[in-house]
Structure 1
Amino acid sequence: MKAMTIEEKSINTIRCLAMDAVQQANSGHPGTPMALAPAAYVLWMDHLRFNPQNPQWFNRDRFVLSNGHASMLQYAMLHLTGYDLSLDDLRNFRQWGSPTPGHPEYGHTPGIETTTGPLGQGIMTAVGMAMAEAHLAACFNKEEKIIDHYTYVFCSDGDLMEGASHEAASVAGHLGLGKLICLYDNNHITIEGNTSLSYSDDVAKRFESYHWHVQDLGDEGNNLAAISVAFERARTVTDQPSMIILRTHIGYGSPHKQDTPEAHGSPLGEEEIRLTKEFYGWPPDEKFLVPADVEAHMHKAVERGQQWEQEWLTLMAEYKKNYPDLASQLDQYLAQQLPPDWDKAVPVYQPKDGPKATREISKDFINAIADKLPWLIGGSGDLEPSTLTMIKSSGYIEKDKYANRNIAWGIREHVMCAASSGLQLHGGVRPFAATFFIFTDYARPAIRLACIMELPVIYVMTHDSIGLGEDGTTHQPIEQLASLRAMPHLCVIRPADANEASYAWRVAITRTTGPTMLVLTRQKLPIFDRDKVASADNVSKGAYILSKEKGDRADILLMATGSEVQLILEAQQHLLEAGIDARVVSMPSWELFREQPKEYRYEVLPPAVKARLAVEAASPQGWDEWVGERGAVIGISIFGVSAPAKELFKRYGFTVENVVNHATRIFRLKD
Structure 2
Amino acid sequence: MEGAVPRRLAGAIRAVKKAAIGGKAVATRKSSEIVLEAVNKVMPETIGGSADLTGSNNTRTADMGVFAPDNRKGRYIHWGIREHGMAAAMNGMALHGGVLPYGGTFLCFADYARPAIRLSALMGTKLIYVFTHDSIGLGEDGPTHQPVEHLAMLRATPGLRVIRPADTVETAEAWEIALTSDGPTALALSRQNLAPVRDSHTNRNLSARGAYVLAEAEGRRQAVLIATGSEVEIALKAREILQAEGIGTRVVSMPSMELFAAQDEGYRRRVLAPGALRVAIEAGVRQPWDRWLLGDGGREAKAAFVGMTGFGASAPEKVLYQKFGITAEAVAERVRAML
TM-score (norm 2): 0.94
Instruction: Determine the structure 1 residue equivalent to 2:231.
Output: 564
Contact 1:612 1:666 (C-alpha < 8 Å) held by counterparts: no
Is 1:545 matched up with 2:216?
no
Instruction: Determine the structure 2 residue equivalent to 1:630.
Output: 302
Contact 1:356 1:526 (C-alpha < 8 Å) held by counterparts: yes
* Equivalent position to 2:131, from 453, 456, 461: 461
Counterpart of 2:207 in structure 1: which amino acid?
A: V
Is 1:621 matched up with 2:284?
no
Counterpart of 2:109 in 1: which secondary structure? helix
Counterpart of 1:661 in 2: which secondary structure? helix
Deviation at 1:535, TM superposition (A): 8.0
Counterpart of 1:639 in 2: which secondary structure? coil
Q: Which whole-Å deviations, capped at 9, do the CAs of 1:12-64 have from their partners, x for residues lacking one?
A: xxxxxxxxxxxxxxxxxxxxxxxxxxxxxxxxxxxxxxxxxxxxxxxxxxxxx
Is 1:651 matched up with 2:323?
yes
* Equivalent position to 2:184, from 496, 515, 523: 515
Deviation at 1:651, TM superposition (A): 0.7
- The verdict on how the C-alpha distance between 1:529 and 1:507 changes in structure 2, with shifts beyond 3 A counting, is closer
Distance, in Å, in 2 between the alignment partners of 1:436 and 1:340 is 32
Instruction: Determine the structure 1 residue equivalent to 2:311.
Output: 639
Distance, in Å, in 2 between the alignment partners of 1:505 and 1:352 is 20
Counterpart of 1:353 in 2: which secondary structure? coil
* Equivalent position to 1:496, from 128, 149, 166: 166
Counterpart of 1:557 in structure 2: which amino acid?
A: V
Deviation at 1:403, TM superposition (A): 2.0
Distance, in Å, in 1 between the alignment partners of 2:212 and 2:167 is 14
Deviation at 1:537, TM superposition (A): 2.3
Deviation at 1:566, TM superposition (A): 0.7
- The verdict on how the C-alpha distance between 1:352 and 1:574 changes in structure 2, with shifts beyond 3 A counting, is same
Instruction: Determine the structure 1 residue equivalent to 2:266.
Output: 599
Instruction: Determine the structure 1 residue equivalent to 2:36.
Output: 366
* Equivalent position to 1:470, from 120, 135, 140: 140
Deviation at 1:471, TM superposition (A): 0.4
- The verdict on how the C-alpha distance between 1:625 and 1:442 changes in structure 2, with shifts beyond 3 A counting, is same
Contact 1:542 1:587 (C-alpha < 8 Å) held by counterparts: yes
Question: How big is the alpha-carbon RMSD for the aligned residues of Structure 1 and Structure 2?
Answer: 1.6
Counterpart of 1:583 in 2: which secondary structure? strand
Instruction: Determine the structure 1 residue equivalent to 2:298.
Output: none
Deviation at 1:454, TM superposition (A): 1.1
Instruction: Determine the structure 2 residue equivalent to 1:92.
Output: none
| Matches for 1:99-498 after TM superposition, within 5 Å | 334-346=1-13, 347-348=16-17, 349-350=19-20, 352-498=22-168
Contact 1:437 1:519 (C-alpha < 8 Å) held by counterparts: yes
Contact 1:534 1:546 (C-alpha < 8 Å) held by counterparts: no
Counterpart of 1:446 in 2: which secondary structure? helix
Distance, in Å, in 2 between the alignment partners of 1:439 and 1:598 is 35
- The verdict on how the C-alpha distance between 1:661 and 1:534 changes in structure 2, with shifts beyond 3 A counting, is farther
- The verdict on how the C-alpha distance between 1:534 and 1:391 changes in structure 2, with shifts beyond 3 A counting, is closer
Counterpart of 1:459 in 2: which secondary structure? strand
Counterpart of 2:260 in 1: which secondary structure? helix
Q: Which runs of 5+ in 2 are unaligned?
A: 295-300
Counterpart of 1:442 in 2: which secondary structure? helix
Contact 1:470 1:644 (C-alpha < 8 Å) held by counterparts: yes
Distance, in Å, in 2 between the alignment partners of 1:343 and 1:423 is 24
Distance, in Å, in 1 between the alignment partners of 2:203 and 2:326 is 25
Deviation at 1:572, TM superposition (A): 1.0
Q: Which whole-Å deviations, capped at 9, do the CAs of 1:283-331 have from their partners, x for residues lacking one?
A: xxxxxxxxxxxxxxxxxxxxxxxxxxxxxxxxxxxxxxxxxxxxxxxxx
Contact 2:226 2:251 (C-alpha < 8 Å) held by counterparts: yes
Is 1:526 matched up with 2:192?
no
Query: Aligned pair count?
Result: 330
Q: Which whole-Å deviations, capped at 9, do the CAs of 1:242-298 have from their partners, x for residues lacking one?
A: xxxxxxxxxxxxxxxxxxxxxxxxxxxxxxxxxxxxxxxxxxxxxxxxxxxxxxxxx
Distance, in Å, in 2 between the alignment partners of 1:432 and 1:555 is 42
Contact 2:197 2:232 (C-alpha < 8 Å) held by counterparts: no
Deviation at 1:607, TM superposition (A): 2.3
Contact 1:343 1:368 (C-alpha < 8 Å) held by counterparts: no
Identify the structure with the greater strand proportion. 2
Distance, in Å, in 1 between the alignment partners of 2:99 and 2:20 is 33
Counterpart of 2:290 in structure 1: which amino acid?
A: D
Contact 1:500 1:536 (C-alpha < 8 Å) held by counterparts: no
Deviation at 1:391, TM superposition (A): 2.9
Counterpart of 1:403 in 2: which secondary structure? coil
The structure with more radius of gyration: 1
Counterpart of 2:337 in structure 1: which amino acid?
A: R
